[in-house]
Structure 1
Amino acid sequence: MSLVNTVLQPESRDTVETFAGTPLPSGDTVASAVRGEIAICLPMRHAGTRELRLRYEVQGPADAPAVFVAGGISAHRHVSASEVFAERGWADALVAAGRTLDPARTRVVAFDYVGADGRLDAPIDTTDQADAIALLLDALRIGKLQAFVGYSYGAMVGLQFAVRHPARLRRLVAVSGAHRPHPYASAWRALQRRAVALGQLQCADAAGLALARQFAMLSYRTPEEFGERFDSAPEIVNGRVRCAAEDYLDAAGAQYVARTPVTAYLRLSESIDLHRVDPAAVGVPVTVVAVEGDRLVPLSDSVNLVEGLQGRGQLRVLRSPYGHDTFLKETDRIDLILAAVLRGNGAHP
């Protein structure tokens, strides 16, 4: 596997040192965050060799321990707000001052998933994401990660990275993600993709994608949470009955459509279902974090994963009404687990 025409294009001006003739962040003078992109030649598992561009963001000192952070298929390179890039990130509460992943003392690395821009209309495997990360680390001159912290799809990618590139990684934290997709969850996603297909047939791509996202929200959360938030009588609006949760679902669909290309959604949704890892092949210590009531990654799958790791895994179980979205909502408890793993302080959630 090799880089072809690798070009780093940082968007921050506070950079020194060079790679392929362009600046790279290095040393104490680096800004608190740097963005850029690289061109790679990636041999893909199901789509042949493709020339692609990876967009990345790095926060923290160049000489600090590096941690790669990856979220669900909606996540992206901007994990948290910084002085340089002040817009809200997808995990602001987890990557922040005073947290285990404090950018003042940790080099936090993230990227936009292969296919996230919607330009790649081909099957994408989690092995492709793992290999792309290895190429990005080469370009950034990061020999070994202190940890890979993956949530949902990111946990699946982290497991693949631990299989394919174990020498690049000390430990993995896999939250709400397992070695294979559960058939029930795959059925949910198949129906979501059919909703998109129906929208496309009617020249209503946005409506189809919004409906798919609304279905997804029901699988991410729990009946208990909906019972607490939306336990009010339905209303009759324009002669139709409208239930209490519909405003929430409409907003979720609209927000997703505004930032997600249809092709990206379809291919990354498929990528979850293509995912397979042999736990015995994982070559690093793994902390598996599961949530009771997660409808997409049942606790039994996490138990099977830990058993398959043959002594290299430990299981932490959380109870939360937020289901699969617990990693985004129960940030204090997730941070305590990260502290126990990365700092070795024995903290418990």
Structure 2
Amino acid sequence: MSFSPASCPAHDPASLAAIDPSTCCPTTPVLPATRGVRDLTLAMRHAGIRRVQVAWEMQGCAGSPVVVVQGGISAHRHVASSEHFSEPGWWQAQVGPQRAIDTLRHRVLAIDWLGADGSLDACIDPADQADAIAALLDHLGIARLRAYVGASYGAMVGLHFAARHPARLGRLVAISGAHRSHPQVTALRVIQRRIVALGRSEGGVREALALARALAVIGYRSDREFEQRFAAAPQVEPAQARFVVEDYFDAIGPKFVARFCPTAYLRLSESIDLQDVDPSSISVATDLVAVREDQIVPEADLFTLAEGLRGRSRLHRIESLYGHDAFLKEESRIGAILTEALTRSDAA
């Protein structure tokens, strides 16, 4: 989801800079949420020098420490509703007044991913996203983040931000995102991208994108959830059988196609598989969250990452019927981890 530059009010970058954390308290006024689009020249890891646009949104407590929040490839800059932008955000359960990421105590910043609007048809490395965030911080006059909270692809980008811009980050919280893409999961995404490419060549790209999404969702959720939801007997007719899970796929496909263009999907899917971070290059204090049932980011990869980190780290392990999507569905458990991590970050 992207927002047009026409929706962006004027702002004073200097007024958005973080100040002394001791001034942060619930009595500090909450500024109206602000959106903007920044033109940048970015030295991309694989695609060379490119002119790009970074669309951003910020909301929360005036003058308070800044927390960047980023989600999966379908997430966007509108993380939570505010008085100025009232539509629900993609992480409404965790961001807002007196929630885990408390906008009465923090200023929350998020971006639309580079390539999310389909205009950047080139190899986009997760490191490019991290550098774009750093360049945006320069534009906004923000010298240092109190924390970066990332889930899924956002966690991958967060690892790059911690490795490439350590002086600008107090703490990293990385949920269901590792230093690499597991080869078997890369193979799954390669098939998804080939389905979309075939659909383009055969004139059925919308149908192909819906199929690719359906294939992806199989990995996002656990086998236990599929057992609970879709174990009913099929409807069998002389010509064919129809299985319960097909209704689910028919429902989610059009929704995804309506908000994701094929180029954006191909490039951001590819970007996940370009993930490559040396854990020993990360010295920032880090909280990692592993989900036992996660088929996309295996628990073992997060163990390896935790063991290799150079800075102080904590590995939180949870079980969830929702697998990789636990960061969206396990509101209380993820909220407790976020609250604890940000409390430690504030105290530090």
Give the structure-2-normalised TM-score.
Answer: 0.91
What is the alpha-carbon distance in structure 1 between the residues aligned to residue 41 and residue 282 of structure 2?
A: 25
Question: Any conservation in 1 of the 2:58–2:109 contact (CA below 8 Å)?
Answer: yes
Distance 1:248 1:257, change over 3 A: same
Residue matched to 2:255 = 255
Q: Does 2:56 correspond to 1:56? A: yes
Structure having the higher helix fraction is 2
Give structure 2 stretches of 5+ with no counterpart.
Answer: 19-27
Distance 1:161 1:311, change over 3 A: closer
Residue 290 of structure 1 aligns to which amino acid in structure 2?
A
User: 1:115·1:264 contact (CA, 8 Å) conserved in 2?
Assistant: yes
Say if 1:32 and 1:61, in contact at 8 Å, map to a contact too: no
**Deviations 1:89-108 (CA, angstroms, capped at 9, x unpaired):** 11111112221212222100
The answer for the alignment partner of 2:229 in structure 1 is: 229
Gaps of 5+ in 1: 1-8
For the 8 Å contact 1:17–1:26, the answer to whether it is kept is no
Within 2, Cα distance between the matches of 1:175 and 1:283?
18
Change (3 A) 1:226 1:90: same
Query: In the alignment, is the contact (CA less than 8 A) between 2:13 and 2:141 conserved in 1?
Result: no
Instruction: Rate the CA distance shift 1:133–1:177 in 2: closer, same or farther, 3 A.
Output: same
Deviation at residue 323 of structure 1 after TM alignment: 0.4
Change (3 A) 1:169 1:129: same
Structure 2: how far apart are the matches of 1:159 and 1:325? 19
Partner residue of 2:75?
75
Task: State the superposition RMSD in angstroms.
Answer: 1.9
Match of 2:277 in 1: 277
The residue correspondences of 1:296-335 to structure 2 (distance < 5 A) are 296-310=296-310, 312-335=312-335
* Residue 101 of structure 1: aligned partner: 101
CA positional deviation for 1:181: 0.6
Q: How far apart, CA to CA, are the structure 2 residues paired with 1:316 and 1:152?
A: 15
Task: Give, in angstroms, the shift of residue 344 of structure 1.
Answer: 2.9
Q: Residues 110-141 of structure 1: CA distance to partner in whole angstroms, max 9, x if unpaired?
A: 00011111011110001100000001111111
Q: How far off is 1:16 after superposition?
A: 5.5
CA shift in 2, pair 1:183/1:170, >3 Å: same
Aligned residue number for residue 45 of structure 2: 45
CA contact (8 A) 1:124 1:271 kept: yes
Aligned AA for 2:262?
V
Matches within 5 A, 1:158-307: 158-236=158-236, 239-307=239-307
Identify which range, 228-237 or 139-148, moves more after superposition. Answer: 228-237
Could you give the per-residue CA deviations for residues 165-188 of structure 1, whole angstroms, max 9, x where no partner exists? 001100100000001110111011
CA deviation after TM superposition for structure 1 residue 72, in Å: 0.5
What SS does structure 2 have at the residue aligned with 1:121? coil
Give the whole-Å Cα distance in 1 for the aligned partners of 2:66 and 2:178: 23
Q: Which whole-Å CA distance do the structure 2 matches of 1:74 and 1:332 have between them?
A: 22
Deviation of residue 61 (structure 1)? 2.5
- The structure whose RCO (Cα within 8 Å, separation 6+) is larger is 2
Deviations 1:195-241 (A, max 9, x none): 10111121111111110000000000011001111221111479321
Please state how far the C-alpha of 1:248 moved relative to its aligned partner: 1.2
1:63–1:11 distance in 2 versus 1, CA, 3 Å = farther
| Partner Cα distance (1:18, 1:275) in 2 | 32
Alignment partners' CA distance in 2, 1:18 and 1:80: 21
Matched residue type, 1:239: A
> Match for 2:12: what amino acid?
E
Match of 2:207, SS state, is helix
Shift in alpha-carbon separation, 1:84–1:292, aligned structure 2, 3 A: same
Counterpart in the other structure of 1:17:
12
Residue 62 of structure 1 and its aligned partner are, at CA, apart by 3.4
Does the residue aligned with 1:55 lie in a helix, a strand or coil?
A: strand
Q: Which amino acid aligns with 2:187?
A: A
Q: Which residue matches 2:128?
A: 128
The residue type paired with residue 278 of structure 2 is D
Aligned to 2:24: none
Identity %: 52
Q: What is the DSSP-based 3-state SS (H/G/I as helix, E as strand, rest coil) of the residue aligned with 1:173?
A: strand
SS at match of 2:96: coil
Contact 2:210-2:253 at 8 Å conserved across structures: yes
Aligned residue number for residue 4 of structure 1: none
1:257-299 alpha-carbon deviations (Å, 9 max, x no partner)? 0000110100010001111000000120111100001101111
CA distance in 2, matches of 1:74, 1:51: 22
Match of 1:147, as an amino acid? A
1:238–1:257 CA distance, 2 compared to 1 (3 A) = farther
